[in-house]
Chains A and B, each alone.
Chain A
Amino acid sequence: MTAARIGLPTALMHSYYRSFWKPFFEELGLEVIETGPTTKAILNKGIRYSVPEICAPMKIYTGHVLELLDQGVDWIYIPRFVSIRKGDVFCPKFLGLPDMLKHTIPDLTSKMVTHHLNVKHENIACMKEYLEIGKLFTSNYRKIKNAVQTGRKKWLEFRKYCVLERYNCQTANGKVFTGKPALQSDLPIKIGVIGYVYNVYDDILGMDIISRLYKLGANTVTFEMLEQGEIDRQLRGYKKRLFWAFSNKLLASAHQFFRDATIDGIIHVTAFGCGPDSFLGKILEINFSQSPKPFMTVRVDEHTGESHLQTRVEAFIDMIAKSKNFKE
C-alpha cells in the first residue's frame, strides 16, 4: 500500500512552520507534497479563484491549494491560525481563510484537513492542537505523540539557527533540511528587512530581495532573528500593541533595528492592500520621523516588476554607501 499524500501549500506561514509540519506528517506515515516556490502559473490559478481586491499573499495561497488539487493529493493541510500568543490574534483574513477556500474552490472540502491553531506560544507543536489532526491518520496515540515531538525538535532547531546564529527563515530551513550553511561574509552594509515571511521569501512578491541586497554588498537582519521575549521587551512602551502576532513581531524588530547602531538602513516590504501594515507603517512613520536612519517602504503585489524593485533597492544601498564613505 502506498502512503497517502498530504499537500502543504508552500505559502503564508509555511516557511515559518515547515520544519514542524513536514516531519510531523511524515512521522504519521504520510507522504508530504510541497508546492515549492510560487510560479507565475500558480499565481494565475490563485488569481482566477480570488476576489480582485484581496491581498496578493491570499491569492498566492489559493494558487498553491489549487496546484495541490491538480496534483491529485489525498489531503491538503490548511490550518486556521487564530493566535500564537496570549492577547494577539491573526489578521482577519487568516481567521477566515479555510472558510473562504472551502466555499470558493469546488471539491476542496473533502480533502481539506483543518483545525484552529489557538495557542499561547509561537511553538505550535503541541498535542492540544495536533492530537485531533493525528487521529485522522492513525489511532495510535503514541505515534501521534512521537510525531509531534519529532516535529517540535526540528522546529526548535530551526528557531535556534534563527535566533542564535542569525539565519533567516529561508536559510534556516535550508540548514535544517539539507545542512547547507547560510552565505555569510563580512559585508560593509547591514540592512534590517521588515516583512512577513510570505512576502519577503516569496519568489514572486519578495523577488529574492535578500540575495539582491547581498549582491549589492549588504547583509540583512530580519524579525525571525529575535526571540519572543525580546519582541515583548521592545513593545513594553506601548499602551496598546497591535493586535496581530506577526505585525507585532515586525513592529518590535523595527524598534530594535532603529536602535541598533550597526544597522545602516531599514526596508519595509509590504503587500498592496495589507490592512495590518497600513497601521504598522503609520506608526513607524510617526515614531521614527526623527531618526536619521534611512527607511524605505517597498510595496509589492502580483504586478510589481523586478526592475522596479531592483532600481529602488540599488538606489537605497547607493545612498547608504555614499553617506558611509563620507563619514569615514
Chain B
Amino acid sequence: MKLTFPYMGSTIIYQKLLQLLDHEVIMPPRPTQRTINLGVKYSPEFACFPYKVLLGSYIESLELGADTIITSGGHGPCRAGLYSEIHLKTLRNLGYHVDMIVFDDIYHYPKLFLERLRMIKNHKSFLQLIRAIYTSYQLAHAIDSLQKFMEIKQAYELEQGAFAKAFEIMRQKFAKAANTVKDVQCLQREGEMLFSSIPVHEPPESQKVRIGIVGEIYVVIESSINTGIAALLNKLGCEVTRSLYVSEWVDHALPRFIKKSDTAIIKNSKKYMEMGIGGHEIHNIGHMIHYKEQGFDGIVHLMPFACLPELITQSLIPKISIDLDMPILTLAIDEQSGAANTLTRLEAFVDLVRNHKLQKAG
C-alpha cells in the first residue's frame, strides 16, 4: 500500500503521522499550475475550486506511484463531504487503480471509523497509534504557531525573505527530526529563537496595519492556491492573522468532548446568520466581529469561485462592513487567479485601509 493524502497546509504533519506508523508514503507535490489544469480538465465546470485542485493533486500523486488515498469524508450540507465519492469515481473512470480510505464522521459511522483506524494503524499497537497521532497533532500546533508569528513579523523584516528562509529551515528540521512530542517542543523553541533573532523594524503602533483573513478553509490555509496572500500582504507592510490554521481545522474535526471550543466567537455571528450552512461561514462572521474587537484595520475574505456558503457570506459583507465600520475585501479564487492580479487588488485595498485608519484617527 503506497499512501498519499490531500495537499493542504504543512503536509509534513500527515507525512509524519503515516511514517510513524511505518507506512510507505508518497508525498503529494506542492500544487502548481499543472496540478490546477489537470484538476480543471477532469472536473465539472461548477465543482468547487478546492475539489478541482485536490483532483489534480491526486492525479500527480498517483503518477508518482501512490495507490491509496487517505482523506476525510463528511455528510453535508456542503459539497466537501462528497469530494471523496466523486473523486474516486472520476479517478477510476480515468483508469487509475486506486483505493480510498475515507474517514467519515465517527458519530455517523462509528464502526467504519474504527475499521479505517485499524487499517492505518498498520502493525502498530493502539498505544503507538495514539502516540503517533498525538505527536503529529503537537507538530501541527508547533508549525502553526511559528507561522502565525511569521505572518505578523514578516511585515517588518529588514532583509526581504529572511523569515521565509528561516521557516523553510525549520520545516526541514521538523520533517527530519520531530519524532516525539519532546522533539517537537525542542524544535519549536529553536524556531522561536531563530525567528526572534531576525532583524525587524517595527513602526509605531499608530502606523501598524493589521489585516485579518477569513474564508473557505482550503483557500485560507493553502498558500499555493491563494497566491500566497499572507506573504503578499506582509510585503505591503501589513500584519496578517488568519481565521484558520491546519491545527485548528484538526481541532474542529475532533469529537465534541475533547474539542477546544470557539463557541464565543461563533455566537457573535448569530446576528447575521442564524445557523451554520455548511462551510465556515458562522466561524468567519464571528471572526470578522472578533477582529474588529481586537482593533484590526481591515479584513480579506477569501472564497473559491462559486462557493455556495461563501456566496451567502459575500452577500452579507456590505452590511457587516458598515456595521463594523471596517473595510472588507472579498477575493474569489479560481484557476485564473494570478499573483500579479491579486497584488494589484491588495495594493488598492491596503491604501484604502490606511486612509480609513487615518481618517478615524484624525
Closest partner residue, chain B, to A99 (CB atom): B273
In the complex, chain B residues whose CB is within 8 Å of the CB of A279: 44, 47, 79, 82, 86
| A96 is an interface residue with CB less than 8 A from chain B | yes
Q: Is the CB of A104 within 8 A of B89?
A: no
In the complex, chain B residues whose CB is within 8 Å of the CB of A103: 272, 315-316, 319-320
What is the size, in residues, of chain B's interface with A at 8 Å between Cβ atoms?
A: 41
Q: Is the CB of B316 within 8 A of A275?
A: no
- Besides A89-B76, A93-B312, A283-B89, 4 new A-B residue pairs in contact (Cβ under 8 A), listed by A number: A93-B311, A100-B315, A239-B85, A286-B90
Interchain pairs with CB closer than 8 A, number: 111
- Measured between C-beta atoms, what is the minimum distance from B116 to chain A in Å? 14
Q: Say which one of A48-56, A208-216, A225-233 lies at the interface with B.
A: A48-56
Q: Is the CB of A282 within 8 A of B89?
A: yes
Q: How far is the CA of A245 from the CA of B273 in the complex (A)?
A: 22
In the complex, chain B residues whose CB is within 8 Å of the CB of A82: 275
Q: Is the CB of A96 within 8 A of B89?
A: no
Q: Is the CB of A240 within 8 A of B85?
A: yes
From the candidates B85, B309, B318, name the one contacting A96 in the complex (CB within 8 A): B309
In the complex, chain B residues whose CB is within 8 Å of the CB of A275: 46, 48, 78-79, 306-308
0/1 per residue, B294-338, Cβ < 8 Å to A? 000000000001111101101110111000000000001000000
In the complex, chain B residues whose CB is within 8 Å of the CB of A289: 93
In the complex, chain A residues whose CB is within 8 Å of the CB of B272: 99, 103
Q: Is the CB of B45 within 8 A of A92?
A: no
0/1 per residue, B217-261, Cβ < 8 Å to A? 000000000000000000000000000000000000000000000
0/1 per residue, B251-291, Cβ < 8 Å to A? 00000000000000000000011110111010000000000
- Measured between C-beta atoms, what is the minimum distance from B94 to chain A in Å? 10
| B75 is an interface residue with CB less than 8 A from chain A | yes
From the candidates B73, B89, B312, B320, name the one contacting A100 in the complex (CB within 8 A): B312
From the candidates A89, A99, A283, A286, name the one contacting B77 in the complex (CB within 8 A): A89
- Measured between C-beta atoms, what is the minimum distance from A53 to chain B in Å? 6
In the complex, chain A residues whose CB is within 8 Å of the CB of B85: 239-240
The 5 closest A-B pairs by CB, nearest first: A243-B76, A96-B312, A95-B277, A278-B46, A92-B278
Question: Can you list 28 A-B contacts with CB-CB less than 8 angstroms, sorted by A residue number?
Answer: A51-B315, A53-B305, A53-B314, A54-B311, A91-B77, A92-B308, A92-B312, A93-B277, A93-B309, A95-B77, A96-B273, A96-B277, A99-B274, A103-B272, A103-B315, A103-B320, A239-B85, A240-B82, A240-B85, A243-B77, A273-B306, A275-B308, A276-B79, A279-B79, A281-B44, A282-B86, A283-B86, A289-B93
Q: Is the CB of B275 within 8 A of A95?
A: yes
Q: Is the CB of A96 within 8 A of B46?
A: no
Q: Is the CB of B46 within 8 A of A286?
A: no
With A92-B278, A95-B277, A272-B46 already in contact, the answer to whether A100 and B316 are too (CB < 8 A) is: yes
- Measured between C-beta atoms, what is the minimum distance from A279 to chain B in Å? 6
In the complex, chain B residues whose CB is within 8 Å of the CB of A90: 77
Instruction: Tell me the chain B residues, 30-52 only, with Cβ under 8 Å from chain A.
Output: 43-48
Instruction: Tell me the chain A residues, 266-298 only, with Cβ under 8 Å from chain B.
Output: 272-279, 281-283, 286, 289
Task: Identify which of A90, A240, A286 gathers the most chain B CB atoms within 10 Å of its CB.
Answer: A240
| B6 is an interface residue with CB less than 8 A from chain A | no
Q: How far is the CA of A199 from the CA of B257 in the complex (A)?
A: 43
Q: How far is the CA of A90 from the CA of B275 in the complex (A)?
A: 13
0/1 per residue, A222-261, Cβ < 8 Å to B? 0000000000000000011011100000000000000000
